[in-house]
Structure 1
């Protein structure tokens, strides 16, 4: 295919000749070389729980600051995460939820990627992901994003499997000025936010309010699952051709209070959304789903002695997945029997309580010992369901065309209320056994009330090979806890849970070279290999071929490589390039893993055109995704998406303006839809948005 790539050479033609002078790469030998290159912001905590210079961190990590996020024109966290080497964001037909696929590890519910806010997981136990009514996450309240590729269960426990994403929100020190802002653009998109911060003596506060509303997309689905039903039943009721339902209205609040060693944080997220394609991949344009998520945590951090510090943290997280307007699984007239359509409205309500203690002792000259313990209670305290098919509240068959029946609190609901308790212990040692060598070892033990215990070790050897080169050898094991739906789904005509499931496991080995020949250039190369076992998949029941049951059945292995290059040509031009190669294989079929890209490229050019004018151009290339052998469709098309952000920040005026465009060449990019053996419900895959344009204004006060 032809890629309309905005190259660095083209951009250089736009610059005055004086900007093309060679940058003087002299290094101050009296300064620490790595400190000079990375700067104070390039510290990372996600690798060990201890703030570490990123070149020494015993992991493959990427850090984004608030300034970087703003300059790239990101409006949602997905805009940032897609730039991480080896991380691709695909889409689920239900809700168009993002699937964060690290290094070829793909599943529709995406429970293998752990997301945390300020170190606290936001996993929903129902399906093991971030929420079925996710609705995105805005970026104005974010101070930093730290991403670790590879396993992290030795530190973070369950679901720190393929990768870990930690979102660190802004406190008063991160907010230099109060701000109010407005952004508007394509698809009737409107964003408003207000940032407030201040302090009085040792008391500090920060509050960020964000509002987002959009119609989402105008892309058309030409045929869907109901199209096939129409052929089978001689009807004509499909909503295809029709638009993907990506309406979204979000309210977000993040607040933080600090007083001496005490920190209190609170957050609220409210979501109202369309259903994407639909629950059964039949277009559902009218349904609306909602979620209310709120979190609260309080932590006490104390430096007890110069060599001993500890943290006590308690957190509470309440999360819902609700139906605001009926889920129309199949449309009105389905099978000539359902005048209102086939309707099913499952709802779940969860609360999570955590209490954690961790401490760091650095009194020995060559060792830093971090240890801790904790408790987590996950309580699916309420499930609700109304429907007009299958079994009613008393176990009777619901005749076609019947009104909705409420089966909540009966034996015929889709999932019973349930809970689990998790207690854990961990210890980690960072041993600097010579000037140039550092060994990190760690182990964590988790005990679960519903599926037993699991132990996960890690080992990392970091060698400061030379002034300009660090070499890392990493090993880790991780697990994913079975979700409540995988354990307990009932009364589902096609998918059943299994209470005897074990957690999924993965073992990963990595070799990393972190090279900086000059303080304006860097190159990081990483090689990895992993084995993923006990994969929970749906397989036919022994007695009923058309009923699928969750089983620990799958196996996958992979090897791959990731390359990152950063070059600050001068104070005007900065270029970042990364490339990821993944060779992931299904060990049961000996075939390549479906739907994940074998090749990913990301090319970013940043230009400081003047003291107040900044231009960012990003190119994201996705190549070589596989379909199943039973899928008769043509190969999945590669694509290149180009985004642009132009920002004007005058020095002496409290106003900032920006023009942001995504997919500026209006490329018809698509993520793969699934197939069921030879049957394909969405033959033309899942379209991504076309060209979008946004204008933005910020006012500081």
Structure 2
């Protein structure tokens, strides 16, 4: 991809901005600027106007989510510049691809729920049994593009997503809703909240049951084995399997300086196109996730001091409700003389505890300085592993071969034996950080921060950041940003055993990223808001599974660079009509091969219109154009096809009534849209393997939903 024309466009844009900045205007021209600007806390730990925040950030509010007709957080995040939501094989889990940083399982993105990390030790991701995150109880979502380890530590790498849930003063009374439609989907939610004498409370419940989209996969991993072995065992062509049922409960109570939160999520879902890319129509997995947290924030502890402390606990599970079929009945699973009459079955389960504690203080006594210092402690414990299966793997020569555990290929419980797929264990992390926001002058602000993390299993790491924010004029802000980040190895990468295809390496070091950014925030009028961001990053020590005498072992083997441009615009054409959109241009290079890092879109355009058709009618139309997804170097398939996805929401909300109704249409024009499937594996077989799902992962066709909301009080 060539960025030269885009840089010329940016130069033209900025020349106009600076010319405008130097013009003479009456003071009243600027008096409305910033009155309704979003505040963001994710960049510094305390609220700042987004245009002045020392990061490239986006805020999406509950009002935005409702107008968009979004039913899940993934649909919301697709609207963020430089961020694309791809799909992984197991369960179609989201891959939040920030600025071309694409990897299966996606551990390079940190998700926070009200500032508390939501991640797993096992794979380093949000969770293998993800099955969606509903948005009805979301107050706003704050997103940082770029590194955030100086504030949030591990995994705040490519980007940080902070989901902030509603409190009692935002959802007073009883609110409920029902949504139903395509794929035999039913969703229900209800919340009750209020505020009295300083006490705020909110209790919410959300439920979803769906068969999931049923687009077909033409060929799968077993199809390749059928071709090589002359068999006909594959279940393809057949549909992906994405049915799921989800429950979400949340309680949020705050009084004075204290806030207490408790939540419970239960997920039960099918496994998409199969765990190893062979269709599995019957496998069923589940997850129980619950957590509690208590926070204290004192803004008047003493002169010039503010104190904040939080303690949290979260428990997560990955469980198997119905046998996971890795390969169908009769398959050998590879170059093996042992067919499995009942199929190859593997049921891995993991159970984790996570404890967090952090405390920080903000000191403002020094002239022109805001100094924030803090420390914290984390304990993660993969305390239980269960493993039931009917196979094991061994090496014949250099290649892994699947053989039965028992002569009749029956399922055996190998938990707490040397045959288990991973070892149990814990990880601790102690950290210190300091940040200084230095007001150099009326128009200049320098944010400098550094964080030290010490891990029990791989040692220590130091990550700094610098952000110089220049208020160039009343309506233009310029930012110069530098940051480093790290991604901690997952336990699957350090502790996996008994699988020659995926062997852990206890000597792994964390992945590292160094990033440079130049950003502009420009408001030529009260009705128009423009952003432009240029970035460059280097991603080192990427953890890959590389050939090893014992199989394929995790190694710090990869290196990637990337640079690009993000443009974002919002225009309030009138009181009834608003246009917004963004353009992302990204160029990535795999430094080992000198070719594109692949899979992520090099160009992406998002457009949105909001039209108040009449006092009670609102129409939202969105278009997402995903382009330029090249293959990785070893993948000989042609580029992934571009697609243009259009969604629309028509909402009727009479102002004198307590109810409203909406019709939501996803993929309005029934576009054949696909996300990249994994490339072939040239090390796993005696001959190079092609991509096991050659025609990529199909996304849902046209879907229509009806939505009804009712509020019983305010």
8 Å contact 1:169–1:254 — kept in the other structure?
Answer: no
Q: Which residue matches 2:478? A: 471
Partner of 1:347: 349
TM-superposed CA distance for 1:109, in Å, is 1.3
- For structure 2, the 5+ residue unaligned runs are 1-24, 333-337, 395-402, 683-688
* Structure 1 residues 597 and 603, CA gap change in structure 2 (3 angstroms): same
| Superposed displacement of residue 28, structure 1 | 6.8
Alignment of 1:83-232 (within 5 A): 83-232=79-228
Tell me the residue number matched to 2:328.
331
CA deviation profile, 1:454-479 (whole Å, cap 9, x unmatched): 00000000000011110000000000
Aligned to 2:51, what secondary structure does the other structure show?
coil
Taking structure 1 as reference, are residues 510 and 266 closer, same or farther at Cα in structure 2, changes over 3 Å only?
same
Which residue is 2:59 aligned to? 63
Q: Which of 610, 627, 638 in structure 2 is aligned with 1:623?
A: 627
Q: 1:354 to 1:513 in 2, by over 3 A?
A: same
Give distance in 2, aligned partners of 1:365 and 1:353: 37
Moved over 4 A (4+): 30-33
Q: Distance in 2 between matches of 1:629 and 1:457?
A: 33
Work out the CA distance in 2 between the residues paired with 1:43 and 1:367: 20
Deviations 1:436-469 (A, max 9, x none): 0000000000000000000000000000001111
Whole-angstrom distance in 2 between the partners of 1:199 and 1:596: 45
* Equivalent position of 1:22 in the other structure: none
Worse overlay, 522-531 or 221-230: 221-230
Q: Which moved more, 1:150-159 or 1:256-265?
A: 256-265
For the Cα contact (< 8 Å) 2:189–2:205, is it kept in 1?
yes
Change (3 A) 1:362 1:637: same
Matched, 1:455 2:465: no
Query: Is the contact between residue 505 and residue 534 of structure 1 (CA under 8 Å) also seen in structure 2?
Result: yes
Q: Does residue 532 of the first structure (1) align with residue 531 of the second (2)?
A: no
Deviations 1:458-512 (A, max 9, x none): 0000000011110000000000000011001000131100000000000000000
Instruction: Tell me by how many angstroms 1:199 deviates.
Output: 3.1
| CA RMSD, Structure 1 to Structure 2 (Å) | 1.5
> Aligned pair in 2 of structure 1 residues 520, 27: CA closer, same or farther (>3 Å)?
farther
> Is 1:633 equivalent to 2:637 in the alignment?
yes
CA shift at 1:201, angstroms?
1.9
Aligned counterparts of 1:286 and 1:616: Cα–Cα separation in 2: 38
| 1:679 and 2:681 matched | no
**Matches for 1:443-522 after TM superposition, within 5 Å:** 443-522=450-529
CA distance in 1, matches of 2:78, 2:26: 33
User: Residues of 1 paired with 2:639 and 2:310: CA distance?
Assistant: 50
Contact 1:642-1:662 within 8 A present in 2 as well: yes
2 CA distance for matches of 1:400 and 1:606?
64
Cα distance between partner residues in 2 of 1:125 and 1:684: 32
> Any conservation in 1 of the 2:85–2:95 contact (CA below 8 Å)?
yes
Q: Which residue of 1 aligns with 2:284?
A: 288
Q: Check the 8 A contact 1:337/1:401 in 2, yes or no.
A: no
Partner residue in 2 for 1:315: 312
State the distance in 2 between where 1:382 and 1:650 align: 53
- Whole-Å separation in 1 of the counterparts to 2:195 and 2:177: 22
Q: Shift in Å at residue 235 of structure 1? A: 2.4
Contact 1:522/1:567 (CA < 8 Å) preserved in 2?
A: yes
The separation in 2 between residues aligned to 1:556 and 1:472, in whole angstroms, is 25
Structure 1 window deviating more from structure 2 (621-630 vs 691-700): it is: 621-630
Q: Distance between the aligned counterparts of 1:476 and 1:623, measured in 2? A: 28
CA distance in 2, matches of 1:385, 1:54: 47
Could you say which residue in structure 2 is the equivalent of 1:376? Answer: 378
Counterpart of 2:14? none
1:353 counterpart SS class: strand
> Is it true that 1:595 corresponds to 2:599 in the alignment?
yes
Is the 1:64–1:146 contact (alpha carbons within 8 Å) kept by the matching residues of 2?
A: yes
**CA-to-aligned-CA distance 1:16-69 (integer Å, 9 cap, x gap):** xxxxxxxxxx98728655323x44xx0011111110011100100000111111
* Separation in structure 2 between the aligned mates of residue 574 and residue 473 of structure 1, nearest angstrom: 30
